[in-house]
Chain A
């Protein structure tokens, strides 16, 4: 579905993403993991078409990814992106004006499912409740690819669990894919098909989760550590 080929991205002459290639197939949930500053957010922004690679190619279903790809790719940044004076309701309305694939009805179903308050101003909500609104707005779109940057960061375990379950429930795994970056590797691992490990902007490995458990008897965190150590030596 989405293909990266030898992608290079530099910021002030420094390579942030360095010669990265991989393919995201349809129907999978894929985690991007790695230390802080390894390039996870930049990688997601490149995939969303918000940044342009200096070299290499990014294609979604054989078409070059650009800013206009936003009509097929639902990207959710890791910052609080909405005005504090907006209510969830207003965020949804804004989304329905911005994105033709957005369904107000679906967003409301998801918000209800997450027990998110849609009539309270975001500035008055807890971080967990703002994250619920953000997830409902993002999943309210019918995109072929969802890119979620740190969707669970800084949330309490209950909020994390309900967001994870919403992902399982509201993603149509026959036709859609999800790529999410995360530090909460242990918690997210059971819903991942594959993991991408980044280090210093390079792709260290991309592997199927069940294979990591089956062949190496490791979970994702141990796998990450063992690969990191290998590189140091």
Chain B
């Protein structure tokens, strides 16, 4: 079925996150071709305009390259992928730190919990 989207974030942004996640997890390999805009729209059950925006955004992030007449491909620049990984980790860490701060937990306490696996 059509994938579900959370309501508080634009759909294009959720799809960008999803594709980046697939790259980081290795489901999408460097140099791998993405489906055409229409195919991806049908697959994910969203508007073609939305997917166009997703592909534009990925290109601006240098996560993909568009080859004229051939389609859109995941970047082969592994350094860029490494960078994205770092960026994502920082992002997750920042969110986490803000959250534990708002609940009054210390980092040290949390490290213990994390080591135990939650």
B4's nearest neighbour on chain A, judged by CB, is: A190
Docked Cα-Cα span, A169 to B44, in Å, equals 12
B38 touches A (CB below 8 Å)? yes
Contacting residues, chain B, for A164 (C-beta < 8 A): 2, 45
Contact (A217, B8) CB under 8 Å given A161-B1, A161-B2, A169-B38: yes
A213 touches B (CB below 8 Å)? yes
Contact (A29, B2) CB under 8 Å given A168-B38, A168-B42: no
**In the complex the two chains form, is A27's CB within 8 Å of B49's CB?**
yes
- Residues of chain B in range 14-51 having any CB-CB distance to chain A below 8 Å: 38, 41-42, 44-50
- Residues of chain A in range 142-200 having any CB-CB distance to chain B below 8 Å: 157, 161, 164-165, 168-169, 171, 173, 187, 190-193
A166's nearest neighbour on chain B, judged by CB, is: B42
Contacting residues, chain A, for B45 (C-beta < 8 A): 161, 164-165, 168, 190-191
Docked Cα-Cα span, A210 to B49, in Å, equals 11
A62 touches B (CB below 8 Å)? no
Contact (A190, B7) CB under 8 Å given A165-B42, A168-B38, A210-B12: no
Docked Cα-Cα span, A190 to B15, in Å, equals 12
A87 touches B (CB below 8 Å)? no
**In the complex the two chains form, is A213's CB within 8 Å of B10's CB?**
yes
Contacting residues, chain B, for A210 (C-beta < 8 A): 10-12, 50
Per-residue interface assignment for chain B, residues 44 to 71, with 1 indicating a CB less than 8 Å from any chain A CB and 0 otherwise? 1111111000000000000000000000
Contacting residues, chain A, for B47 (C-beta < 8 A): 29, 168, 173, 190-193
Docked Cα-Cα span, A169 to B7, in Å, equals 24
B9 touches A (CB below 8 Å)? yes
Contacting residues, chain B, for A173 (C-beta < 8 A): 47-49
**In the complex the two chains form, is B7's CB within 8 Å of A218's CB?**
yes
Contacting residues, chain B, for A28 (C-beta < 8 A): 49
A219 touches B (CB below 8 Å)? yes
Contacting residues, chain A, for B5 (C-beta < 8 A): 190
Q: How far is the CB of B52 from chain A (nearest CB, A)?
A: 9
Contacting residues, chain A, for B13 (C-beta < 8 A): 214
Docked Cα-Cα span, A222 to B45, in Å, equals 21
B13's nearest neighbour on chain A, judged by CB, is: A214
**In the complex the two chains form, is B42's CB within 8 Å of A169's CB?**
yes
Q: How far is the CB of B16 from chain A (nearest CB, A)?
A: 12
A209's nearest neighbour on chain B, judged by CB, is: B11
**In the complex the two chains form, is B7's CB within 8 Å of A217's CB?**
yes
Binding site for A on B (CB under 8 A): 1-2, 5, 7-13, 38, 41-42, 44-50
User: Which 10 pairs, one residue from A and one from B, show the smallest C-beta to C-beta distance?
Assistant: A219-B7, A217-B8, A210-B10, A190-B46, A173-B48, A191-B47, A214-B10, A213-B10, A168-B41, A168-B42
CB-defined A-B contacts under 8 Å, sample of 12: A27-B49, A29-B47, A161-B45, A168-B42, A173-B49, A190-B11, A190-B45, A190-B47, A190-B50, A213-B7, A213-B10, A217-B7
